[in-house]
């Protein structure tokens, strides 16, 4: 039999235990609340074959969740423009620095300088105001051709206007494909630079269309057209062209080979941070940039898409290119991102209306 005093003592003990438990719950809630306040999810708008893998590895390492919105560059930039008054993105990761220069001019990017050591090429790609960060580079463009169907190989872009190439050349749509506007701008830059280059480039692409140019949405579509005999020459990103030669076994009907025409345009993959993030997410986004440039991050990038976007030349000293890549070319051109970034909307609109 339990006495009243015993029941009172038991009740006191239970209350005491309950207090301890409640205190423990309160402490846990407080701890969780602190963690919740200290960690906010990031939203990554990206068009890289390795973006999801890097985001997953970054979250595993830091505990910071990352939502990846993976799409072609054109739709992502359209989305960012539509969200300008209420940005929904934290980081943008696509190929080509022209769009980032334009975003910087509009005041949408948060300057950040990572401590990662850049190569000489990487230093030329980093803007002086640190508004965005190069994470690797490819070339635009590589001309990939089917040697099983043709033995005629161009040596310059004007060759593609000849009768031997009539109806046989394909390229991507700059309104969809991020690497394609830098290619178009690169041709314009070669033809006339910043004084008349746009007009001369328009004349060139008009002639190319008259010679039967075919336009496809992205690298994959252009390469599929090459594989199926719709075209014999594809103008695509170097990583896509090299990847095609690695993953497709040559046959009697399809033997892909690559030629680079002078001068190919240096095409960086670029990370930018939304300037309007709160202080916590700004720091988290900066950690993401640091991770992408780290040896671990670069290794993740190179392992995620080995027959596609992973075929880039690193711009940090802590990383080496995949062995499948040729030596980094010595003859290339570097576009002025500020000038050509300001021309992008006009040029892409003209292309879609007149060439596509």
Indicate the pTM of the whole model. Answer: 0.86
Judge whether 148 lies within some domain.
yes
pLDDT value at position 26? 34
Q: What is the CATH number of the domain that holds 193?
A: 3.40.190.10
The confidence score (pLDDT) of residue 16 equals 38
Q: Is 11 helix (H, G, I), strand (E, B) or coil?
A: helix
| Span 58-87, average pLDDT | 96
% of the chain with per-residue pLDDT over 90? 86
Domain shared by 187 and 253, yes or no: yes
Q: Are residues 176 and 156 in the same domain?
A: yes
Q: Are 146 and 235 found together in one domain?
A: yes
**Residue that the structure tokens 């969780």 belong to:** 32
pLDDT in the model for residue 38:
66
Residues 253-291, buried b or exposed e (16+ Cβ, 10 A)?
Answer: ebebebebbebbbbbbbbbbbbbbbeeebbebbbbbbbb
d(CA 92, CA 111): 13
Q: Please give the backbone phi and psi of residue 140, each rounded to the nearest 5 degrees, phi first.
A: -135, 105
158 & 254 share domain: yes
Tell me what pLDDT residue 169 has: 98
- On the question of pLDDT at 345 being above 60, the answer is yes
337 located within any domain: no
Residue 234 located in a structural domain: yes
> 245 and 101 in one domain?
no
Q: Is the pLDDT of residue 284 over 70?
A: yes
* Radius of gyration of the chain measured on its C-alpha atoms: 26
Q: Say whether both 181 and 292 belong to one domain.
A: no
Residues 272, 133 share a domain: yes
Is residue 43 a contact partner of residue 297, using CB atoms and an 8 Å limit? no
The residue behind tokens 């336009």 is: 215
Instruction: Supply φ then ψ for residue 267, to 5 degrees.
Output: -125, 100
pLDDT range class, residue 6, cuts 50, 70, 90: very low
- Say which range, 37-46, 61-70, 225-234, has the weakest mean pLDDT: 37-46
- Judged on CB neighbours under 10 Å (0-12, 13-18, 19+), 148 is middle
For residue 157, is it within any domain? yes
In a shared domain, residues 226 and 260: yes
- pLDDT surpasses 80 at 197: yes
- In whole angstroms, give the CA distance from residue 260 to residue 277: 41
Please list, residue by residue across 2-24, b when 16 or more beta carbons sit within 10 angstroms of its beta carbon and e when fewer do: eeeeeeeeeeeeeeeeeeeeeee
Asked if residue 65 is part of any domain, the answer here is yes
What residue numbers bound the domain in which 164 lies? Answer: 140-265+345-351
CA distance 232 to 18: 78
Helices (H) and strands (E) in the chain, counts: 12, 11
- As for how many domains the chain has, the answer is 2
Q: Encoding tokens for residue 299?
A: 């290794």
Same domain, yes or no, for 157 and 272?
A: no
What's the mean pLDDT in 106-126?
A: 97
60, 77, 208, 289, 312 from 111: Cα distances, Å: 26, 19, 40, 12, 24
Asked if pLDDT for residue 324 goes beyond 50, the answer is: yes
Residue 256 sits in the same domain as residue 148: yes
- Extended beta strands in the chain, E state: 42-46, 66-70, 91-95, 132-140, 142-146, 169-172, 214-216, 233-236, 256-259, 264-273, 332-333
151 in the same domain as 245: yes
pLDDT given for residue 75 in this prediction: 95
> pLDDT tens digits, residue range 16-45?
333 333 333 333 333 333 344 568 999 999
């Amino acid at each position: 039999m339990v006495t009243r005093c015993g029941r009172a003592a038991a009740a006191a003990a239970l209350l005491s235990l309950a207090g301890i438990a409640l205190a423990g719950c309160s402490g846990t809630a407080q701890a969780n609340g602190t963690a919740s306040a200290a960690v906010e999810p990031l939203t990554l708008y990206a068009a890289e074959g390795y973006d999801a893998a890097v985001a997953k590895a970054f979250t595993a390492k830091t505990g910071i969740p990352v939502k990846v919105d993976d799409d072609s560059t054109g739709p992502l930039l359209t989305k960012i423009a539509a969200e300008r008054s209420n940005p929904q993105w934290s980081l943008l990761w696509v190929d080509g620095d022209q769009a980032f220069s334009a975003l910087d001019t509009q005041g949408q990017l948060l300057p950040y300088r990572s401590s990662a050591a850049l190569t000489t090429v990487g230093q030329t790609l980093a803007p002086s105001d640190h508004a965005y960060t190069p994470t690797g580079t490819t070339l635009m463009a590589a001309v990939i051709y089917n040697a099983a169907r043709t033995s005629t190989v161009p040596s310059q872009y004007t060759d593609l206007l000849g009768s031997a190439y009539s109806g046989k050349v394909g390229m991507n749509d700059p309104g969809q494909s991020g690497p394609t506007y830098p290619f178009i701008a690169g041709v314009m830059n070669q033809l006339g630079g910043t004084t008349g280059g746009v007009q001369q480039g328009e004349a060139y692409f008009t002639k190319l269309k008259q010679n039967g140019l075919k336009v496809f949405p992205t690298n994959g579509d252009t390469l599929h057209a090459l594989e199926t005999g719709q075209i014999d020459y594809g103008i695509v990103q170097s990583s896509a062209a090299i990847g095609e030669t690695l993953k497709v076994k040559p046959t009697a009907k399809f033997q892909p080979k690559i030629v680079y025409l002078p001068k190919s345009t240096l095409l960086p993959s670029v990370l930018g941070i939304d300037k309007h993030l709160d202080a916590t997410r700004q720091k988290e986004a900066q950690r993401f940039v640091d991770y992408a440039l780290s040896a671990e991050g670069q290794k993740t990038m190179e392992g995620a898409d080995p027959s596609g976007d992973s075929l880039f030349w690193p711009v940090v000293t802590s990383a080496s290119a995949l062995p499948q890549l040729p030596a980094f070319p010595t003859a290339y051109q570097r576009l002025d991102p500020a000038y050509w970034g300001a021309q992008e909307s006009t040029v892409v609109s003209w292309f879609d209306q007149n060439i596509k």
